[in-house]
Structure 1
Amino acid sequence: MNDSPDYQEAHTDFRHSLSYGGYLALDDLLSLQRPLTDAHDEMLFIVIHQVSELWMRQVIHELRSAMQLLEEGRIDPSLKMLTRVVRAQEQMTNAWEVLKTMTPADYLEFRSAFGAASGFQSYQYRMVEFLLGNRNPFMLRPFAHEAQRHAELEAALRAPSLYDLSLRLLDRQGFELPAAVLERDFSRPYEPHPEVLAAWLEVYRHTSKHWDLYYLAEKLVDVEDNFRRWRFNHLTTVERMIGFKRGSGGTAGVGYLRKAIETVLFPELWQVRTEL
């Protein structure tokens, strides 16, 4: 019945108070989907990428907070944030399944409209990579025309990554890692080190004694595992839509994405499984 008491007391007058749409700025948000063509599937393409950017914003927020907590030596609260990163990554990975409903013919209807625009130029994706430790100074170049973005990325490139901060914590808890690991050039990719492997082996062989570090290590593996899944789904989505054509941003497309999958962010945490 329309006069059901279940909702009769709901607020309906928002002339002088904040509404749901106002709080979320929905008028602004829903005005940002601006297809360049009349192709039906261009809306899907835009929405999927915008939603992914929103999830990446949340991932960056959680990663930064978790890293700050690790720097302070507070493992337990950081785990909640890393868990949230993992759940957000799952949403990003599942988004590719929706995009896969678009066929190559559908994509070609609007592909030429956005020219050289590409996810390769995503500031937030590059920030996620830098925070997780995938470092390459070349990746700053697409942002040379945006001074603030370039500066933010360069700062992240030269600062300790999530794994670097985890290794510093490992050192502070008595594992005495070498300076070559703790004070390296953070702008370069991390290189595995036998003393780091030995420390993680100790953690994994005596989990009850080092439970906080063990749980942190497994959470890091969760993050990298989901990052790989996202990349794999990205690869298969691109391959089924454009085959082996070059990407819109000028990369080798599928070839570039396949090479990216080979990147290992936390190498000793994977190697430790073989050594146990």
Structure 2
Amino acid sequence: MSGGENIVRDEKAQLDFSKDMSYGDYLHLDEILNAQHPLSPEHNEMLFIVQHQTSELWMKLMLHELQAAIAHVAQDKLPEAFKMLARVSRIMEQLVHAWDVLATMTPPEYTAIRPYLANSSGFQSAQYRRIEFLLGNKNAAMLKPHAHRPDLLAQVDEAYRAPSLYDEALKLVQRRGIAVPASHLQRDWTQPYAADDGVKAAWLEVYRDPPKHWDLYQMAEELVDLEDAFRLWRFRHVTTVERVIGFKRGTGGTGGVSYLRKMLDVVLFPELWAVRTEL
């Protein structure tokens, strides 16, 4: 048998996936690619579905990284936490650019599919709410949209009751020998975070001598990176919604753009932004 025939035979063997796991098998592509079920006759509904399904997949990865990062901060495993937080920021950048695709949907195109959405809305995303809670934006009212699904409610409630990423970062600062007010080390984690001058003073000590407090300095900058990316994600969401539906109410019952604009005012890590004025 010639060398050429051997190559052909080997190539055929490599292309036979009847016995081994294939790419599609590993990724369960049949389930994923058959999970789009448009309810309207409109061509553009597929864009709407894929946009939101892929965003949920990215949020699944974000939660995977964010939960692990919080655990690593609590265990003083900072290099691992920094890697994970950097990845979360990059995921948020992906989600920012995803709005560019949805923005190609015009108002008449969305209006044609809107009646088929009933009351379904991204406002009801359990994964998004868990992300908000893990980042410290706690709000008991946001548990209600998940009351009809006890399994999802339990997951959202767990994030609601747990210390946020910033809460764990402040505990880390205290462990490194910089005083943090006791009110911000042991508190009711279900309550929204309130800015504090004592916390600002702690971060000022870090920023005034980065070489001495290098890991805390890096922690702070990872947090700023993350909130910066999150703000862009929120802003792009607002502008896309306004571009597509104007100031109509959201399908989930919110004020739509007016509600989303209020979210732009939420500051997750206030002292890290405030110290910039003091330096």
Q: Output the aligned Cα RMSD.
A: 1.7
Q: Which residue of 1 aligns with 2:143?
A: 140
Spell out the pairing of 1:95-110 with structure 2 (5 A cutoff): 95-110=98-113
Q: Residue 36 of structure 1 is aligned with which of 36, 39, 42? A: 39
Letter of the 2:45 counterpart: E
1:76 to 2:79 alignment: yes
Q: Which residue of 1 aligns with 2:219?
A: 216
CA displacement at 1:144 relative to structure 2: 0.7
1:264 to 2:259 alignment: no
CA displacement at 1:176 relative to structure 2: 2.3
TM-score scaled by structure 2? 0.95
Q: Which residue of 1 aligns with 2:252?
A: 249
Letter of the 1:247 counterpart: G
Give identity over the alignment, percent: 55
Q: Secondary structure at the match of 1:250?
A: coil
Find the aligned partners of 1:59 and 1:11 in 2 and give their Cα distance: 35
Q: Secondary structure at the match of 2:174?
A: helix
Spell out the pairing of 1:61-72 with structure 2 (5 A cutoff): 61-72=64-75
CA displacement at 1:8 relative to structure 2: 3.3
Aligned residues: 275
Find the aligned partners of 1:38 and 1:148 in 2 and give their Cα distance: 33
Indicate the structure (1 or 2) with the bigger Cα radius of gyration: 2
Find the aligned partners of 1:100 and 1:148 in 2 and give their Cα distance: 33
1:10-37 CA-to-partner distances (Å, cap 9, x unmatched) read 7211111100000000000001011001
Q: Which residue of 1 aligns with 2:126?
A: 123
Show structure 1 runs of 4+ deviating over 2 A: 5-10
Letter of the 1:272 counterpart: V
Q: Residue 47 of structure 1 is aligned with which of 33, 50, 59? A: 50
Letter of the 1:234 counterpart: H
CA displacement at 1:105 relative to structure 2: 0.7
1:46-67 CA-to-partner distances (Å, cap 9, x unmatched) read 0000000000000000001101
Q: Secondary structure at the match of 1:109?
A: helix
Q: Secondary structure at the match of 2:100?
A: helix
CA displacement at 1:9 relative to structure 2: 7.0
Find the aligned partners of 1:21 and 1:158 in 2 and give their Cα distance: 39
| Structure 2 residues not aligned, in runs of 5+ | none
TM-score scaled by structure 1? 0.96
Find the aligned partners of 1:156 and 1:37 in 2 and give their Cα distance: 35
| Structure 1 residues not aligned, in runs of 5+ | none
Letter of the 1:225 counterpart: D
Q: Secondary structure at the match of 1:92?
A: helix
